[in-house]
Amino acid sequence: MKMTLSLPDTIAQEITEVSRATGYTKSGLVLTALNIYFLLYHADNEKAKQVANLIPDNQSTIYDFLKAKQQGSRLPAAKRKR
- Tens of pLDDT, residue by residue over 8-36, are 898 899 899 888 988 989 999 888 888 88
Average pLDDT for residues 32-51, to the nearest whole number?
83
- Residue 26 within a domain: yes
- Residue 49 within a domain: yes
d(CA 24, CA 12): 14
**Contact criterion met (CB below 8 Å) for 28 and 38:** no
- The structural domain count of the chain equals 1
d(CA 52, CA 48): 6
The domain containing residue 31 runs over which residues? Answer: 9-80
Average pLDDT for residues 30-46, to the nearest whole number?
84
* pTM greater than 0.75: no
Q: Give helix 45-54 / helix 26-42 axis angle, nearest 10°.
A: 140
- Residue 32 within a domain: yes
User: What's the pLDDT score for residue 59?
Assistant: 67
- Residue 74 within a domain: yes
**Contact criterion met (CB below 8 Å) for 19 and 45:** no
- Residue 1 within a domain: no
Average pLDDT for residues 69-78, to the nearest whole number?
57
- Residue 42 within a domain: yes
User: What's the pLDDT score for residue 62?
Assistant: 67
d(CA 75, CA 68): 6
- Residue 44 within a domain: yes
- Residue 4 within a domain: no
